[in-house]
Amino acid sequence: MLGDVMKESVEVVKMATFNFLEGNGILNKESFDKIGIHLHIPHGAIPKDGPSAGVALFCALVSSIIQKPLKSNLAMTGEISTLGEVIAIGGVREKLTACKNHRITNVILPYSNEKSFNKLPEEFKSGFTIYFVKHISEVYWIAFTDEDISDIKKVSFPEDATLDLNFIDLAPPQFDLL
């Protein structure tokens, strides 16, 4: 069951997605209103009550609407506003640990989390390419296009085999958008 914060986050994501798609000429209001959106988050051991899924929900909605998959080997986190701003989240280290456990090396983080990321030990950051974003338009270009994204703040860390993590092979959670 979704908590109140997550329900609010879903509504914000829907507004931001509509604003983005309409503003970029991808979808108009009439078409958007005809789309039946159903978000299914399986019940599990992890409570689903936090806004940091906003960027991922945005990508899931856009992917479903434009019928294009996201790039592979990409994780993302961040709260979003109705204007599409990507806002700081907590638990950067824990989220990156999950990425390491699942061998995901490209990660989208809110620009405002750069300081917390920089405080992490260098050996922990190794092997990641981090994209710090301020707006969902940057998320879109990273996740869906093959165009040059060099103007987006990107930090790469070479692979370092000195960090030993216990890798856990678990299937990622499934999100069904209809």
- Residues marked active site are found at 52, 95
CA angle 125, 44, 171 (to 5 degrees): 50
Roughly what angle, to the nearest 10 degrees, separates helices 54-66 and 4-23?
50
Of 58, 76, 56, the closest CA to residue 20 belongs to 58
Nearest to 127, CA basis, from 163, 154, 95: 163
Identify any residues that bridge with 75 across adjacent strands, giving them in sequence order. 107
Q: Which structure tokens are listed for 76?
A: 């993302």
Contacts of 10 (CB under 8 A, 6+ apart): 2, 39, 57
